[in-house]
Chain A
Amino acid sequence: MAQELEFQNAYKYRINVCCSSGCVPFGALKVLKAFEDAVKEFGVEKECKVARTGCIGTCSVGPAVLVEPGDYLYQSVTPERVREIVRDHIVLGLPVKDMLYERNAYFKKQHRLVLRNAGKIDPSRIQDYINMGGYGGLLKCLTDTPQAVINELIASGLRGRGGAGFPTGQKWSLVARAQNSPKYIVANLDEGDPGVFANRTLAEADPHAIIEGMLIAAYAIGAEKGYIYIRSEYPLAIQTLQKAIAQAKAMTLLGESILETPFKFDLELRFGAGAFVAGEETAILASVEGKRAMPRPRPPYPANSGLWQKPTLIQNVETLANIPLIIQNGGAWFAKTGTPKCTGTKCFSLTGKVNNPGLIEVPMGITLREVVFDVGGGVPDGKKFKAVLVGGPSGGCLPDTLLDIPIDYDSLVKVGAIMGSGGIVVLDEDSCMVDTARFFTEFCVDESCGKCTPCRAGLARLKDVFGKITNGAGEMSDITTLEKSSSFIRDGSLCGLGQTAPNPVITTLRYFKDEYIQHIVEKRCDAGKCFKSRGEEEIE
């Protein structure tokens, strides 16, 4: 906090311009330049810092600009109106009301742990991160035994944010106990689900949180080498991480004898080529080794036999970004947020038919209704809510009646959805559930690695059946075919991709079966999405 004050004192104001992948297409870089010019023009550059930051979380109304102190959030800022903001807000102390984002609803129920620094620090400056208390977790853990660090993790109840929700402390114990060496860490930043951008945003906004998390993990399990596996479609995140790694190396936070202790850890980036399946943990290992990203059966588990058959810890980057906080504040502190079995927060990419789309971070256990209607602000244009797809392309489509379930790994699985990578898509009355299931099935057909029969051949046939139904050639027996093959794909597939791919089909059949029947019997699609082009497949 002392550092924080010092830094606030140096500048009276701080203008944070989001320059992450969400706001740049809206012209954020021009806005940044305009602010830099304007503070000079008004002669306030000594008291007002213009910073290029990561995502603030209101991606739909970008470019977003956060003015501190007071957390004034401006939306849809244009270079033309920048002078106005500097003149009125900075020089005269009067915020420009009509451009302020109505933040109550959107931010009130959010709880920002992972995104603690997002939008507030310049990700290209390690000093910014350190000013916010960064690398304090590492310092603290270096004075502790590795086992004490693991114990803290176990006490925190943290579970993996990459989808499966495996207890992180337990995973660390397994790798720490594995006899073989060297040991490796792989940070999973593949994020292959369409419409999901939480991990990218994190890397663009606060790269050092990931690096610090990896360092603490490395210390705890005894690893000397780590990889961040990131998809090459994320150029800004890659750049940001590369810069962050170089800065950390320069400050002896990475490399040999870290902070002049015997602890050493080296970090490299590895690039994925944009296959969804490459995020699966055994596929990621193959890819890091330079092989085809194809999953393999487990056991052996990566904790015992991962990269080059050595014990390997694979962790999602959001999981990792929680670690420094847990070490600094203690596991018990962390466990106070969320539910007893599911502690902490979770980032979600909230998209679709919702008033406030964006990247949100909410405590575990919050209900879907709160996310959609409070944080998300409900469905726009007075339309009726229809369903929410939770868990990305292989998530479940849940109807209104299930909106009051709490968001945690186990509750979601019970109703046929998954936490997945944290994609939430809101669908309104204009969406057709059959068409939605078809869309996501097609995504998974394209992304299947092709190794196992249920996923490779099964999903392709599901796609055929959807083609038939949405073409007007559906028969009631098609529903049985969909049901039978979906359960085989779910139960019989080798990896998580196939095991979860039929979720949209299974849940729409469970909660919206009447729509299927309408399509098949009445050849009717109320949303007007189907029966558009009559395929050549028809026989009658």
Chain B
Amino acid sequence: MSTNAKVRVATVWLSGCSGCHMSFLDQDERLVDLAKKITLVYSPLVDVKEFPENVDVTLIEGAVANEEQLAMLKKVRGRTKILVSLGDCAVTGNVTALRNSWRHSDQAVLERAYKDPADLNAAVPTAVPKLLIKARPLHEIVKVDFYIPGCPPHADLINYVLTELLAGRAPVMEGRSKYG
């Protein structure tokens, strides 16, 4: 099989703990089979700086919490055929979005992180991307095609969804996925 015929897959890490990517790796030896069918064209696991065009499947971990991630998500959506929300942060907002129930959480969360614990020169850094008022799951911003809930999602489930997608079938989630 030539590399050209391989399915172009990407993974993206937004506001998540990277646990979903760990679970992706937990597919273990099944990754070997997968590697025969896919090319990983962009991922925290490979060293590509710019998200490429014409991606077949992109798995995104994490909620959208700041403007940089918002722009990234829109770019990815524009360049991907099938977009998959990977893990609870991407699917529900999860822990990343717990701040949403505070008022003015974009400010409050920065102060809590940078000011409250500091003994000297307490200040919110200005170089970090501006936080959105709410952290959001992906599908509240762009169209998402499939969802893999779980915190983290089980490696078997990730493998099941990828296998189905590669076979051109829509995964059936009844009785398979679990939040948390």
- Chain A residues packing against B (C-beta within 8 Å): 477, 536-540
Contacts and interface: CB of A to CB of B under 8 A. Distances in A.
A540 B141 CA distance: 10
Contacts of B141: 539
B8 interface: no
Contacts of A539: 70, 132-134, 136, 140-141
A273 to B, nearest CB: 31
5 contacts: A477-B143, A537-B134, A538-B133, A539-B70, A539-B133
- State the majority secondary structure of interface residues on A: loop
A441 B136 CA distance: 25
Interface residues of B, number: 8
Nearest to A535: B133
Nearest to A539: B132
Interface string B115-149: 00000000000000000111010001101000000
A540 B143 CA distance: 16
Contacts of A538: 133
Given A539-B132, A539-B141, 6 more contacts: A477-B143, A537-B133, A539-B70, A539-B133, A539-B136, A540-B70
A423 to B, nearest CB: 36
A536 B103 CA distance: 11
Contact of A536 (B70, B133, B143): B133
A537 B136 CA distance: 11
Interface in B80-132: 132
Contacts of A536: 133
Contacts of A537: 133-134
A108 B116 CA distance: 75
B89 to A, nearest CB: 16
Nearest to A536: B133
Nearest to B70: A539
B43 to A, nearest CB: 26
Interface in B135-180: 136, 140-141, 143
A477 B134 CA distance: 20
A477 to B, nearest CB: 8
A538 B70 CA distance: 13
A539 B132 CA distance: 7
A428 B162 CA distance: 55
A524 to B, nearest CB: 23
B130 to A, nearest CB: 12
Contacts of B134: 537, 539
